Amino acid sequence: MALQPSDISSSNPTSLPWSRFAWLTMLATLLLISVGGLVTSRGAGLSVPDWPNSYGYSMYTFPISHWMGGILYEHSHRLLGVLVGVLTTVLAVGLWVRETSGRQRWLGVIVMTGVAGLLGRMGSWQVPIFITLAALAPVAMVWGLARFARDRQALRWLGVVAFAAVILQGTLGGLRVVWLADELGFVHGMLAQGFLVLICFIALLSGGWRNRVAPGSIAAPGLRRAWWLAVVLVVAQLGLGAAMRHRHAGLAVPDFPLAYGRVWPKTDATSLATYNRTRVEATAQRPIQSTDVILHMLHRSNAYLIAAIAAWLTFRTWRDAGRKTPAGRLTTVWLALVGIQIALGALTVWTGKSADIATLHMVTGALTLVVASAAAAAMARMCRVRPAFVEPYRRAGSGSPVWPG
Amino acid sequence: MIRTSVIVVATLAGGLAVYAAEISGKVSLKGTPPPERKIEFDAMCGKLHDKDVTTRHYVVSPDGGLANVFVYVKQAPAGKPASDKVPELDQVGCMYEPYVMGVMTNQLFKIKNSDPLMHNVHATPKATGNKEFNIGQPVKGMVKDHTFPSREVLVRFKCDVHPWMFAYVGVMDHPYFAVTDKDGKFKLPGGLPAGKYTVVAYHLKTHGTAEGLTQEIEVAEGDKREVNFTVELPGS
Ligand SMILES: [Cu+2]
């Protein structure tokens, strides 16, 4: 008896009800991100000048007759934010209760529900409380990730990370409004993507995903590194996209595949003056600067790089892991998403940055990250370098084999 | 001390008004501007219009006069605003009126909502001292007083409820500025003391980050001077 379950794990992470609840939370998050994307695409981020109140009303009683123009998107985004906040709190508390007992259990429940209840009241006087809790959130997130790294069966720590992240995220969104800070919009957009990935991992891990990905079944450590590179490139791509969107300069390069009729556009002062003079913007946009053009071109270049690595990874993963394995299937989905995403990127340019297309492009980008991360994690597990065979053990009361994390 | 001297200068300028120079003129456009785009109002704003409304990048009269050009004297002695009338930036029919206007530094102007619906007013100045702000004007008839302390050509105003709503306000540290009317004509306030000046004509869409067209002039007491500009679009 060299290996006891208790030596490795504090609990069995598999819980189908909580996995389903996490998928529901992820769906709500995806909707929240979509509406958030519309807010930015339609330039409606500041259509409600106050926060957490809305034109002086409590956000819960803001009359529907006032949900006009950009306010419709901004206010829906705020209400969906509350919904995701509530779902995340329930998920975090649920995972905590499931994996703890005694005093530890009650302490966690009281702290999390107390914080959620306090923030849920959403009065204007609460801004300092939001800021204080948001400042503490990164600490809680690092702590939670560190605890999870030590014990990969303890999903409650991922729940704590999600709970802290949702508070930070909501506060960033609010401060972006009241501080008129476009840069916070960028951080808000990026954190949203990370949050989506986190909820997806909670759903996968609580759904017993580990049991379906056999560790060390492929002897190809290079493939594992290539997948992580793909994730890094996608994150960089989302960063470039978010930077473009949150600079509010509109479409910096109006043609595709060429750029102002060239392979690489000019960015000298005279050319920029011409770009600005000849475009007829129908909405309020900042004039194009060289940074806008360069970000746009880097985004295109990186897209080609991702397409290339996607083709290569698909070929190798299908060959080494098999098409019908979880990693193989994820690869197929990912390749499809990358293809759709590049088409949507082209359409964004060809439609003159139609708000709906641009938003769809952003949401598909988020899904590309989610699937790439899941595939990379699966491959990391399958491409273990150490001797391939580890004896599975069975937990008492659980019929299915459990692989050590 | 400072206040006294300001009053003295202002009084002198007022007293000299009859004799001092007066500058007027016209800004014309040469070349074909890109066509304007039709504004896609939402349902509520659409109800306030029975005709199509377009963007206002190039508003040109039949004889080539270019409207919405901010014309100003580059360096001029300070003074008090040319008129006692309080400038007003109105929101009417989900559009800003006027599209371009001017105020003096620290001159009070009004931002008004004449529409039966909600607007937010979001100014994005860049000059040090001029602060970005975003306020709600949810009710018809609401008025907000505002001043900008620093000179700036031009401060953008936008509404985030209605993304097609944007307008510009020029802020000058003296009263010698004007915006060309629908015929491209302008008249700077009288009272400019005799001397050498640079007159600038700045058209936002044409000139962007550049200064605009300039003309050096020398005026004597009582001069009535006509200064005309031609904005030429490249490729015309
Ligand atoms: Cu408006």
Q: How far is B142 from chain A (nearest CA, A)?
A: 13
CB contact under 8 Å between A283 and B164, yes or no, is yes
pLDDT (average), residues A350-366: 97
Q: What are A383-389's contacts with CB under 8 Å, separation 24+?
A: A383/A216, A383/A218, A383/A219, A383/A220, A383/A221, A383/A223, A383/A224, A384/A215, A384/A216, A385/A221, A386/A216, A387/A216, A388/A215, A388/A216, A388/A217, A388/A219, A389/A216
Question: What does the DSSP 8-state code read for residue A64?
Answer: G
Q: What is the pLDDT of residue A397?
A: 41
Q: What is the pLDDT of residue B120?
A: 96
Write the single-letter amino acid at B165: M
Q: How far is B106 from chain A (nearest CA, A)?
A: 23
Q: What is the pLDDT of residue A9?
A: 44
Q: How far is CA A72 from the centre of its chain?
A: 23
CB contact under 8 Å between A69 and B164, yes or no, is no
Residues A227 and A379 sit within 8 Å (Cβ to Cβ): yes
Residues B205-233 have pLDDT tens digits of 999 999 999 999 999 888 899 999 999 99
Expressed in angstroms and rounded, the spacing between residue B137 Cα and the centre of ligand 1 is 9
Residues A233 and A302 sit within 8 Å (Cβ to Cβ): yes
A-chain residues near B165 (CB < 8 A)? 284
Residues A230 and A309 sit within 8 Å (Cβ to Cβ): yes
Question: What does the DSSP 8-state code read for residue B208?
Answer: T
Average pLDDT, chain B: 91
Residues A134-172 have pLDDT tens digits of 999 999 999 999 999 999 999 999 999 999 999 999 999
Q: What is the pLDDT of residue A236?
A: 98
Expressed in angstroms and rounded, the spacing between residue A282 Cα and the centre of ligand 1 is 14
Residues A217-265 have pLDDT tens digits of 777 778 889 999 999 999 999 999 999 999 999 999 999 999 999 999 9
Write the single-letter amino acid at B117: L
CA-nearest residue to B131 within chain A is A180
Would you say residue A331 has pLDDT above 60? yes
HSE value, Cβ hemisphere, 13 Å, CA-based, for A272? 16
Q: How far is A21 from chain B (nearest CA, A)?
A: 35
CB contact under 8 Å between B122 and A277, yes or no, is no
Domains of chain B: 21-79+174-236 (2.60.40.1120), 90-96+103-166 (2.60.40.420)
* Alpha carbons A134 and A317: distance in angstroms, whole number: 40
> In this predicted complex, what is the ipTM?
0.86
Would you say residue A405 has pLDDT above 60? no
Q: What is the pLDDT of residue A11?
A: 63
Peptide bond into B62 cis (omega under 30): no
Would you say residue B11 has pLDDT above 50? no
Please tell me whether residue A368 adopts helix, strand or coil conformation. Answer: helix
Average pLDDT, chain A: 90
Domain limits, chain A? 15-212, 214-276+287-405
Q: What is the pLDDT of residue A280?
A: 93
How many Å is the Cα radius of gyration of chain A? 23
* Alpha carbons A390 and A2: distance in angstroms, whole number: 13
pLDDT (average), residues A290-305: 98
Expressed in angstroms and rounded, the spacing between residue A58 Cα and the centre of ligand 1 is 21
Expressed in angstroms and rounded, the spacing between residue A33 Cα and the centre of ligand 1 is 25
**Among A185-194, A300-309, B16-25, B158-167, whose mean pLDDT is lowest?**
B16-25
Nearest to A229 by CA among A104, A373, A392: A373
Residues B56 and B99 sit within 8 Å (Cβ to Cβ): yes
Identify the residue with better confidence: B4 or A75: A75
The model's confidence at residue A92, banded by pLDDT at 50, 70 and 90, is very high
**Among A189-203, A374-388, B49-63, whose mean pLDDT is lowest?**
A374-388
